[in-house]
Amino acid sequence: MKNSFFRGHGLGNDYLVMDPKELSFRLTPKAIRAVCDRHWGLGSDGILALAPSKKADFGLRIYNPDGSEAEKSGNGLRIFARYLHATRKATRPSFTVETKGGIVRIQLHLDRHGDAGEATVEMGEATFNPNALPCALAVDALIDQPIEAAGRSLRFTGVSVGNPHCVVFKPTGDQWTREELLSLGPALETHPLFPKRTNVQLAVPTGPRELFILIWERGAGETQASGSSSCAAAGAAVRLGLVQSPVTVRMPGGALRIEVGNAFQLIMKGPVAEVARGTLSPSFIRTLK
């Protein structure tokens, strides 16, 4: 169908999937912002656009609701994988997807109805190299580094999993509040140390193999869950010796299981759901051009 969309979510982190070849308008920043607006458009945490690839089975472009582009999204990849299976573009339960943050392999897990209710994603390797985020600190590794934000002195661990993350830990037994996230999230996202901005996780170890995180996503703001954030927080916690792999990362939207290998290879497993399919109205499309 012309101008069709597929809506799905991973633990409350919702995306629209579109095939640009089926659209009568271009996915410009203006159009993306209008479509993702939760009051004047469809509403979404972003748009996943099918793209050609010469290196993988499928290509994916990931757009934030502010119109900027993301390199990688764990929840987005699970939703995109479900879309590929549900629309019969993928004929096998295992395939590769090329993102701006690298190529990933996805394995779908089908339920008794034949739907892809879960997916395992090989998310690549975590790196703590400042150049990978990038980060302006002149250090060998972004491990437990000082930072000032929103009038507070903090320590962060910087991680790239194909996209940038700033993980700030509190000791076991303490808790982060939503008010702290709304204050620290935007301050850290746009901090001068991160010239291309960063995703932010406020994390607390809650067991030997468990974390709880609050998430502020670059270009999206507060989100209920994030796959790449879970991978970054798990990788950082293992690197600091706070937890052991595999790590259950709990978020307001639910939990993901993250395996962290000896070389910080990351494998994420979690649920995914389809919500709706439909088409944009001609009158709405006229406002996008």
**pLDDT tens column, 93-142:** 999 999 999 999 999 999 999 999 999 999 999 999 999 999 999 999 99
CA 182 to CA 198: how far, in whole Å? 15
Helix (H, G, I), strand (E, B) or coil at 238: helix
pLDDT for res 118:
96
Same-domain status, 11 and 98: yes
Same-domain status, 177 and 211: yes
CATH number of the structural domain spanning residue 177? 3.10.310.10
Average pLDDT (275-286) is 96
pLDDT for res 289:
80
Residue with tokens 């809506």: 7
pLDDT for res 173:
77
Domain that holds residue 103: 4-123+272-286
Query: For residue range 56-77, what is the model confidence (pLDDT) as tens digits?
Result: 999 999 999 999 999 999 999 9
Same-domain status, 116 and 168: no
* Residues found in the chain: 289
Q: What is the pTM of this model?
A: 0.92
Same-domain status, 142 and 251: yes
pLDDT for res 20:
97
pLDDT for res 252:
96
Same-domain status, 85 and 54: yes
- For 119, residues 6+ apart whose C-beta sits below 8 A from its C-beta are 77, 78, 81, 82, 106, 107, 108, 109, 269, 270, 272
pLDDT for res 225:
94
Query: For residue range 219-274, what is the model confidence (pLDDT) as tens digits?
Result: 999 999 999 999 999 999 999 999 999 999 999 999 999 999 999 999 999 999 99
Average pLDDT (41-70) is 97
pLDDT for res 172:
78
- pLDDT band with cut points at 50, 70 and 90 for residue 171: confident
Same-domain status, 50 and 159: no
Helix (H, G, I), strand (E, B) or coil at 118: strand
Residue 289: half-sphere exposure toward Cβ, Cα within 13 Å? 8
Number of domains, the chain: 2
For the chain, the average pLDDT equals 96
Same-domain status, 94 and 135: no
pLDDT for res 91:
93
Same-domain status, 175 and 245: yes
Same-domain status, 110 and 193: no
Same-domain status, 104 and 139: no
Query: For residue range 173-220, what is the model confidence (pLDDT) as tens digits?
Result: 789 999 999 999 999 999 999 999 999 999 999 999 999 999 999 999
Percent of the residues in the chain that have a pLDDT greater than 90, as a whole number = 98
pLDDT for res 93:
95
- For 180, residues 6+ apart whose C-beta sits below 8 A from its C-beta are 202, 214
> Cα dist. 45→7, 132, 157, 221, 264 in Å?
11, 25, 25, 9, 28
pLDDT for res 90:
96
Same-domain status, 110 and 175: no
pLDDT of residue 1 exceeding 80: no
Same-domain status, 105 and 206: no
pLDDT for res 140:
96
- The two structure tokens encoding residue 261: 């290998």
Query: For residue range 28-40, what is the model confidence (pLDDT) as tens digits?
Result: 999 999 999 999 9
